[in-house]
Structure 1
Amino acid sequence: MLASMLAGALFFPGIFLLSTRLLKNKMGWSRADADVVSARAVSSLQAVMASAAGCYIAAACCGDVVHDRHWLTDAYVAFGAPYFVYDVYAMFLCDRHKRQVKGHQEGPRVAAAGFARRETLMVLHHVFVVAFCLPASLVWRRGKGDFFQGLLFLPELSTPFVCLAKILVQLKRTDTLAFKVNGVAALLVFFGCRVALFPSMYFIYSRYAQVPLQQAVLGAPWLCNVGACVLWPLQIYWFSLMCGHARRAFTGSRALPS
């Protein structure tokens, strides 16, 4: 597992640095534009990899959803965990560049404190994934539930759509058909892979255990309930924000957040 974790710690920042250098040196982009687009490209790459791994694991372990095992489960958990540490720094860079464009010249400490204050939920989400979900997946679940762990990779599938929307906002292409089509796709994928995911997993578990849904919820391992109680409300909150953004885009409101 340490080898997989080290590989992830080198892979994601390495792809970011390589992409930034190529955009700056070969394309002539500014440092800010190169950093922002590279960060979103790495996020999309990680999302595709995680979603593909999740689909493969879930398909391989669908016979016995509690006891079936697949080697890729723990391997990708360890490989993907460093991404969430890197991503906090990448989000900080993007936030700092955005504020510098608006004329805010702040030192690193002030900028970091301001970023943590503005993006508290997102930062706490990433901290929770590393501090709780990582040991829960590798140690505390004791080799059970690879099927459900595979499903938990699927929320990343919405990330490429969200990243593309942000890139189109950055390029001032919010009035295009591509932006609106991508927005609809983002809403559908986000709802299916994030909002509906947790109730679906409880439903699958209730079918497996042959118990009513409410009994499955109450009888599920405490790790599952803690994770669901923390992560599911965040997905609902972010989905409500996306719906508001989509409404403003389709109604032509000029107040379209990035």
Structure 2
Amino acid sequence: MGANNVLQQRLRGSGCYMSLACSIGSMSLACGSLLQIPNITDRISLQRGLFLTSLGFIYFVSLTDFCNKYLLKTKRGLQFRKKYRLMMSDVLEITNKIVSAIQATFSFLVGFIVCKSTCSKSFVYASHFLMEAYGWFGTAYFMYDIWSMYKVHTQKIADKLKLMRLNAAATGATSSNGVNGVSLKNNSNGVSSAGGDSGDESPVRVSAQQRENDDIYDYDGECVQIPKDGKWDFIKYVITHPVMMIHHVFIGTFGLLVVTYIRGGGHCIYSYMFMMEFSTPFVSMRSILSTMRLKDSRAYIINGLLMLGSFFVFRVVMWPYVMYRYSVAINVSFWQALTTLPRGCIISIMILFLPQLYWFFLMVKGALKVFSTPKPKDAAPKKLRQSKNNNLSPVTPNAEHDFSQIYANEANNAGTKPSAIVHRQPLETNNGKI
């Protein structure tokens, strides 16, 4: 029986490397198709562009699948999850940030290469096939990332409902008649759902007031209340996240397709837009360290300072600098260069630039809060509530037990013995052990 479980675990672990092979293969095909282009000023045809976009979808989806399977189904991935007590939503969050950092690295490298190649020739009219090629390839990422962020969001809600159910059971917060309560129970997949009593089961009821007090923090630090039915459809997610949706749709369609394919020139200017992604790996690392509950570590502080500095240089200062270079190239003043731009160009710059100011404001606000808030020597126990930019694991006396139960349930669904993964702690309350 033990040998059978080991074999099954190895087979599940080998599946992640198939996804990695698909990811590497799609990137290799994309690079190979570009080797056939003889001149750097050649255009990317529509057929080649659509081929690159399809390879982009394969690359980013398979890369995400590899990261998820590695953390969820391999021995080292399970050890990593156990060490940092990562729930399912934490794994999806880390994977999303890893893929985001990889895409940003590609984007910066493409922008840097094109900038070095074209800006010395003509700041306004020079072109490079690599800019258009990655425009087609990279647009797949922004469309994929919208769906990926939605899946992370819904999994956060599911995990939060699990924690609420377990903590309500641990503290005895049950209602015998179910008045003003919501019945939560596990379905066959181990995901919490809302509903009434069914059969002989005794689902834990969480009061409506407790549900209103429990919330989750999204990618931008905004507080989002858990819906009463525990569901959050895709359309609602898009509507409630307008800034990120506008940014992704604009970059993924107009910014990377219309500008690069129809415009056919000015790639030196567009290369600076690609180099804006230099700060993204630091933003992603900040989120990953926060999810791992390493916000008090030196690495988190250093990464935060690098993130703040790089974001200011590459996303805030970058556009005024590009406008200055443009004014010098056409031999007019900065203000004249800005006001004589076509109206559509000005609107596009505002759509791209204003969100950067908003996000930089949030970063500065968070940094000031970190450095200005003194840390108490003897911190009082925190109530059950997710902290901003942290994962969903509760910070209560029962935190280890709650995580152990959820982790063990996920391990059982994966066919792994819970005792081999995590050590269960005795269930404790404020009044002692149960």
* The two structures share one fold, judged by TM-score above 0.5: yes
Q: Please, which of 89, 98, 104 is the counterpart of residue 47 of structure 1?
A: 104
Deviations 1:76-122 (A, max 9, x none): 11110010011111111222222223225623xx3434433442211
Q: Please, which of 55, 65, 69 is the counterpart of residue 17 of structure 1?
A: 65
C-alpha displacement of 1:153: 0.5
Does the 8 Å contact 1:65/1:148 carry over to 2? Answer: yes
1:106 corresponds to 2:230: yes
1:96 corresponds to 2:154: yes
Higher RCO, 1 or 2 (CA under 8 Å, sep at least 6)? 1
Q: Please, which of 28, 33, 38 is the counterpart of residue 90 of structure 2?
A: 33
Alignment of 1:68-217 (within 5 A): 68-103=126-161, 104=226, 106-107=230-231, 110-141=232-263, 143-217=264-338
Q: Please, which of 115, 119, 127 is the counterpart of residue 58 of structure 1?
A: 115
Counterpart secondary structure, 1:220: coil
C-alpha displacement of 1:222: 4.2
Which position in structure 2 is the counterpart of 1:252?
A: 373
Deviations 1:125-148 (A, max 9, x none): 11122332234323442x121101
Separation in structure 1 between the aligned mates of residue 138 and residue 312 of structure 2, nearest angstrom: 23
Deviations 1:18-41 (A, max 9, x none): 111111111124543332211111
C-alpha displacement of 1:74: 0.2
Which position in structure 1 is the counterpart of 2:125?
A: 67
Separation in structure 2 between the aligned mates of residue 205 and residue 71 of structure 1, nearest angstrom: 22
Q: Which has the higher helix share?
A: 1
Does the 8 Å contact 2:132/2:261 carry over to 1? Answer: no
Report which stretch shifted further, 230-239 or 29-38.
Answer: 29-38
Does the 8 Å contact 1:77/1:134 carry over to 2? Answer: yes
Q: Which has the larger radius of gyration?
A: 2
Deviations 1:184-219 (A, max 9, x none): 111111111111111111101001111101111122
Cα distance, 1:44–1:51 mapped onto 2, change above 3 Å: same
Structure 1 unaligned segments of length 5 or more: list them.
none
Separation in structure 1 between the aligned mates of residue 238 and residue 267 of structure 2, nearest angstrom: 33
Separation in structure 2 between the aligned mates of residue 251 and residue 178 of structure 1, nearest angstrom: 19
Separation in structure 2 between the aligned mates of residue 75 and residue 221 of structure 1, nearest angstrom: 26
Separation in structure 1 between the aligned mates of residue 361 and residue 299 of structure 2, nearest angstrom: 22
Q: Which has the higher strand share?
A: 2
Task: Quote the sequence identity (%).
Answer: 27
Separation in structure 2 between the aligned mates of residue 224 and residue 192 of structure 1, nearest angstrom: 22
Provide runs of 4+ in structure 1 moved above 4 Å: 253-256
Separation in structure 1 between the aligned mates of residue 258 and residue 320 of structure 2, nearest angstrom: 20
Which position in structure 2 is the counterpart of 1:3?
A: 51
Deviations 1:32-65 (A, max 9, x none): 3332211111000000110011011011011211
Separation in structure 2 between the aligned mates of residue 151 and residue 248 of structure 1, nearest angstrom: 31
Structure 2 unaligned segments of length 5 or more: list them.
1-48, 82-86, 162-225, 376-385, 390-434
Q: TM-score, normalised by structure 2?
A: 0.56
Separation in structure 1 between the aligned mates of residue 374 and residue 343 of structure 2, nearest angstrom: 44
Cα distance, 1:81–1:3 mapped onto 2, change above 3 Å: same
C-alpha displacement of 1:156: 1.2
Separation in structure 2 between the aligned mates of residue 4 and residue 118 of structure 1, nearest angstrom: 31
Cα distance, 1:114–1:248 mapped onto 2, change above 3 Å: farther
Residue identity in the other structure for 1:131: T
Does the 8 Å contact 1:57/1:146 carry over to 2? Answer: yes
Aligned residues: 255
Residue identity in the other structure for 1:125: H
Does the 8 Å contact 2:63/2:99 carry over to 1? Answer: yes
Q: TM-score, normalised by structure 1?
A: 0.92
